[in-house]
Amino acid sequence: MAPGPTSTPVEIPNKLYFRIGEVGRLTGVKSHTLRYWETEFGRLRPMKSSSGQRRYSRADVELVLRIKDLLWGRKFTIAGARTALAKGEEKEPLPEPPQSLLEREASLDEQAQTLSDRGTEVAARESFLAGRTEDLARREAALTARAAELDARAASSAGREEAFTERARKLAEQEAALADAELDRSQREAEMAGREGPLSERERALSEREGVLFQREKNLEAQLRQAQEALAERQADGQRALDASLQEQLHEIDMLRTRARLLEARADEATSELDDVRLREARMTRAMAQVRRGIIELRHRLHEAGQDGS
């Protein structure tokens, strides 16, 4: 049953806002009852912070005390208290409701609090499973990145690994009505219980796959080291062959340079001989020219001598 009336005046501290726990201690009304009254009395609308916490003003606290006096002190029904608040007056209370009705109202309040607590527990379990799902998603992303890296390094020998399975679907939102909340909570608990096994199995499979990928990475690193050693040996052999070939080519170049110097010397000698031949040719040309002139003069003299004799 609800608490009985109290004639002790309540001294409200001089504060701007009060939390729901502080209002409960000041007024003697439990938190779940205050939340229930908010649904029944439109004037009781405390502000909420960015984190969703209720912030009651001084006027809200005074209104809670008035509602408490109407319902518990003067035995008004909720409808009568609502009407009295709307008209701004407090009429005489209706006849006291039957004891069973009061007990039922208290039982409904307790059930509402129980459902609220169980809803909080379900929300906490949802948050825990969401955290596990996010952790598995991060591990999946890390393993996907590692698998992609291994596929890139071993593209010539193995195909890419298939992508990991889709992420787990989000849990359904809890229905607001109290009548459907119990059924929805049971269904969601059954769904979460059924998902815990697959999530554990999936985590084990991911761990096994991580071990396989780690072993594969070690094998690829060993193959890479062997390939690097073989490449280094081939490069050394090639370098030695290249050095030998360069030595042979340098020897041939030296021989060609020697022959070129000999040919240059012979060319110089041939040029000198050619110059001597040209000089002698020029001398012979001048001598022949002198002989021709001498012959011409001789012929001319013989011709003159012939004319004189005749």
Instruction: Write the pLDDT tens digit of every residue in 228-270.
Output: 898 888 888 888 988 888 888 888 888 989 888 988 888 788 8
Binning pLDDT at 50, 70 and 90, where does residue 132 land?
Answer: confident
Percent of the chain at pLDDT exceeding 90: 28
Which carries the bigger pLDDT value, residue 63 or residue 196? 63
Same domain for 139 and 86: no
Instruction: Quote the pLDDT of residue 167.
Output: 59
Decide if 288 is inside a domain: no
- Mean pLDDT check: name the lowest of 93-97, 206-210, 253-257: 93-97
Q: HEC states along the chain?
A: CCCCCCCCCCCCCCCCCECHHHHHHHHCCCHHHHHHHHHHCCCCCCEECCCCCEEECHHHHHHHHHHHHHHHHCCCCHHHHHHHHHHCCCCCCCCCCCHHHHHHHHHHHHHHHHHHHHHHHHHHHHHHHHHHHHHHHHHHHHHHHHHHHHHHHCCCCCCCCCCCCCCCCCCCCCCCCHHHHHHHHHHHHHHHHHHHHHHHHHHHHHHHHHHHHHHHHHHHHHHHHHHHHHHHHHHHHHHHHHHHHHHHHHHHHHHHHHHHHHHHHHHHHHHHHHHHHHHHHHHHHHHHHHHHHHHHHHHHHHHHHHHHHC
Indicate whether this model's pTM tops 0.75.
no
**Which residues span the domain enclosing 86?**
20-97
Q: What is the pLDDT of residue 263?
A: 80
pLDDT reported for residue 181? 65
Q: What pLDDT shows up at residue 9?
A: 75
Domain membership flag for residue 130: yes
Last residue within a domain, chosen from 62, 97, 132:
97
Q: Is residue 212 located within the same domain as residue 124?
A: yes
Report how many domains make up the chain: 2
- Please tell me whether residues 143 and 184 are part of one structural domain: yes
More confident residue, 157 or 117: 117
Q: How much is the pLDDT for 85?
A: 92
Whether 101 has a pLDDT exceeding 60, the answer reads: no
Do 46 and 85 lie in one domain? The reply is yes
Does 212 map to a domain?
yes
Per-residue pLDDT, 1: 43
**Is residue 129 domain-resident?**
yes
Residue 102 lies in a domain: no
Q: Tens digit of pLDDT for each residue in 8-18?
A: 678 899 888 99
